[in-house]
Amino acid sequence: MLADVPIVFVLIGITAYTVLSGADFGAGLWMLIPGGGQADAATTRDHTRHSIGPVWEANHVWLIFVLTVAWTCYPGAFGSIVSTLAIPLLIAAIGIIFRGTTYALRGVLERGEGRGVSLVEKLFALSSVLTPFALATVVGAIATGRVPVGNARGNIITSWLNPVSILAGVLAVAFSGYLAAVYLAADARRLGEPVLTRDFRGRALLAGVVAGALALAGLLVVRFTAAALWHGLTTGAGLALVVVSGVAGVLTLILVWRSSFGPARASAALAVAAVIAGWAAAQEPQLLPGLTVRAAAAGRATLIATIIGVAVGAAVLVPALALLYTLVLRGRLDTTAPSAPSVASAPSVASASSVPSVPLVARDGRIAVGRPAWAFAVVTLVAGVGLLVFAGPSWALGIGALLLVACAVTVFALTAVPDEKT
**Count of CB atoms within 10 A of residue 189's CB?**
18
Question: Which positions ≥6 away from 53 have C-beta within 8 Å?
Answer: 348, 349, 352
| Cβ count within 10 A of residue 397 | 14
Give exposure, 13-48, as e/b (b: 16+ Cβ within 10 Å): bbbbbbbbbbbbbbbbbbbbebeebebeeebbbbbb
- CA nearest 271: which of 340, 320, 323, 212? 212
Burial class (CB in 10 A: 0-12, 13-18, 19+), 392: exposed
Query: pLDDT at position 355, please?
Result: 37
Asked if the model's pLDDT at residue 364 lies above 90, the reply is: no
Q: What's the mean pLDDT in 329-357?
A: 46
Given a cut of 70, whether residue 111 has pLDDT beyond it is no
Collapse the DSSP code of 396 into the 3-class scheme (helix H, G, I; strand E, B; otherwise coil) and give the result: helix
Range name among 117-126, 138-147, 216-225 with the lowest pLDDT average: 117-126
Contacts of 124 (CB under 8 A, 6+ apart): 28, 31, 98, 99, 102, 103, 106
pLDDT at 102 over 80: yes
24/27 Cα distance (integer angstroms): 5
Amino acid found at 262: G
- What confidence tens digit (pLDDT) does each residue in 371-395 have? 787 788 888 888 888 887 777 777 7
Burial class (CB in 10 A: 0-12, 13-18, 19+), 286: middle
**CA pair distance 107, 353, nearest whole angstrom:** 6
Task: Please say if the pLDDT value at position 175 is more than 80.
Answer: yes
CA distance 70 to 95: 21
**What are the tens digits of pLDDT across the range 14-63?**
998 988 888 888 888 888 888 778 888 888 888 887 777 667 677 788 99
Question: Which of the two residues, 334 and 346, has the higher pLDDT score?
Answer: 334
Residues in the chain: 422
Q: Which of 39-53, 64-78, 403-417 has the highest mean pLDDT?
A: 64-78
Q: 70: which residues sit within 8 A by CB, 6+ positions away?
A: 10, 77, 78
- Give the Cα separation of 421 and 362 in Å (integer): 9
pLDDT of 366 reads 41
Alpha helix stretches (DSSP H) within 85-193: 86-106, 115-143, 163-190
**Amino acid letter, residue 395:** W
Q: Rounded distance, CA 15 to CA 62, Å?
A: 9
Those residues whose C-beta lies under 8 Å from the C-beta of residue 383, and which sit 6 or more positions away, are: 400, 403
* CB burial readout 133-161, b (16+ within 10 A) else e: bbbbbbbbbbbbbbbbbeeeebeeeebbb
